[in-house]
Homo-oligomer: A and B are copies of this chain.
């Protein structure tokens, strides 16, 4: 009997007959009375195919139907080799098997649309890079540094556009190979379904065609455990679509994906409104404090997929120094959110990582690895500490005259502006507390540890990638020395006694 690992993909197929041309193949999978209905796909080929991701071990039975034809079979689902699809858990993530997932993402929008040698480079680079999620588009991209046409498109052309009912198998088979390469590297594929940077007409398709396309994408791709659905890159910049369209896409996918993969809608300016189908926030914005406020408002995990990219091109979103990029990522991190990577160093050959993949040239990637290892070393995810300025994370609230002055201010707007300005990135967990000090270059810091317990203090230099113990076995009010430079984090670890998130 065929064996499929839990969270792996079974593909079953049936030969096509003439009358089944416009009918979608389907299958029902059963295990111990549990029943999963799955729809498949066909192309201009001789096979109807159904893909299935078993979530439970055991002997599964199935019945496949394509029009009037039927086929039955069984397979054994054996122990998993991976952790399964990523789910949300409060404002964080974990895999389906409960293992924690810490997103350390990157972006290569159009990597699948490049020449084979560039794709090979991308896969090689990803193989040694620290990234475990990649944002990538189904449709090719047209904007500065993205002028090349791909070899294949998702659909066959028709007179005035695209025939979404005729997927081009060359494109989708190629996409399958790319997705399998990512799967092998344990990289989540955050698949962007629509985006604005288009000269071929994909952004301007009719709603009905969009739904036909989404239906195909779900039937074909949902059985990959590592797929995420990113409805958009910059939804408001896709001027051909209204919010009702995006909502229709989100509802369609949430209702049709048998595995309930994550669904996001990435913004250009204004965060996508909260919706029941929205599983997390994929945000673009240059101010890391936005992440804190989004998390508070949405009570969903927040990934800042674009807080600016490390690079040196003309555009302000693509010319951050490595330091500034990492500074933003650490800020977002200490707010209990997640920052993602992108790289845009000018090259005459126009192969920039953010769009085409290829190779990485910046200083951020090694720092993202350090951050990932740091986060993995912690006993669990952190929550933002700074709900209000009264709980001043710098220990400066005590006798702080500005605080008192702020309370006398009559303008709600001024109040909000300054509360925001004073909101500091401090993350807490019962067993640890992380202060990220950003561009502050203090030589010392007063810490108010609980009196009842013993604690250890470490100083992290996010840029030099060092982590050093400063003092251990302390409690109460202590003064710790700091290196008086930018990019410093202070980590308090509980050895015993009171929790640090009290």
Please report A residues at the B interface, Cβ cutoff 8 Å. Answer: 196, 234, 236-237, 239, 268-270, 286-287, 311-316, 319-321, 323-324, 345-346, 394-396, 401-402, 404-406, 408-409, 411, 414, 418, 421, 439-446, 484-486
Contact = CB atoms under 8 A, between A and B. Distances in A.
A405 B269 contact: yes
Contacts of A234: 401-402, 405
5 contacts: A313-B443, A320-B439, A320-B441, A324-B486, A346-B443
A395 to B, nearest CB: 7
A269 B418 contact: yes
Given A439-B324, A485-B321, A408 B314 contact: no
A405 B442 contact: no
A192 to B, nearest CB: 16
A401 B312 contact: no
A409 B314 contact: no
Given A313-B443, A414-B269, A445-B314, A405 B321 contact: no
Contact of A396 (B316, B346, B442, B485): B316
Contacts of A236: 405, 408-409
B405 A346 contact: no
Given A405-B237, A421-B286, A319 B269 contact: no
Contacts of A321: 439, 441, 485-486
**For A313, A411, A414, which residue has the most chain B Cβ atoms within 10 angstroms?**
A313
**For A269, A404, A411, which residue has the most chain B Cβ atoms within 10 angstroms?**
A269
A394 B318 CA distance: 13
A313 B442 contact: yes
A444 B314 CA distance: 6
A312 B442 contact: yes
Nearest to A484: B312
Contacts of A269: 402, 405-406, 409, 414, 418
A414 B353 CA distance: 31
A145 to B, nearest CB: 13
B346 A444 contact: yes
Contacts of A405: 234, 236-237, 239, 268-269
A362 B18 CA distance: 82
A446 B312 contact: no
B486 A446 contact: no
A394 B316 contact: yes
A316 B236 CA distance: 37
Given A269-B418, A319-B440, 8 more contacts: A234-B402, A237-B402, A313-B442, A314-B396, A314-B442, A315-B396, A319-B443, A321-B485
Contacts of A408: 236, 239
Nearest to A410: B270
A442 B309 CA distance: 12
Contact of A402 (B268, B313, B443, B444): B268
Contacts of A404: 237, 239
Contacts of A409: 236, 269-270
Nearest to A439: B324
A323 B405 CA distance: 30
A320 B485 CA distance: 9
Nearest to A400: B315
A441 B401 CA distance: 38
A346 B442 CA distance: 9
Nearest to A394: B316
Nearest to A236: B405
Contacts of A418: 269
Nearest to A411: B270
A282 B394 CA distance: 27
Contacts of A237: 401-402, 404-405
A443 to B, nearest CB: 4
Given A269-B418, A441-B321, A196 B315 contact: no
A239 B400 CA distance: 13
**For A314, A345, A402, A445, which residue has the most chain B Cβ atoms within 10 angstroms?**
A314
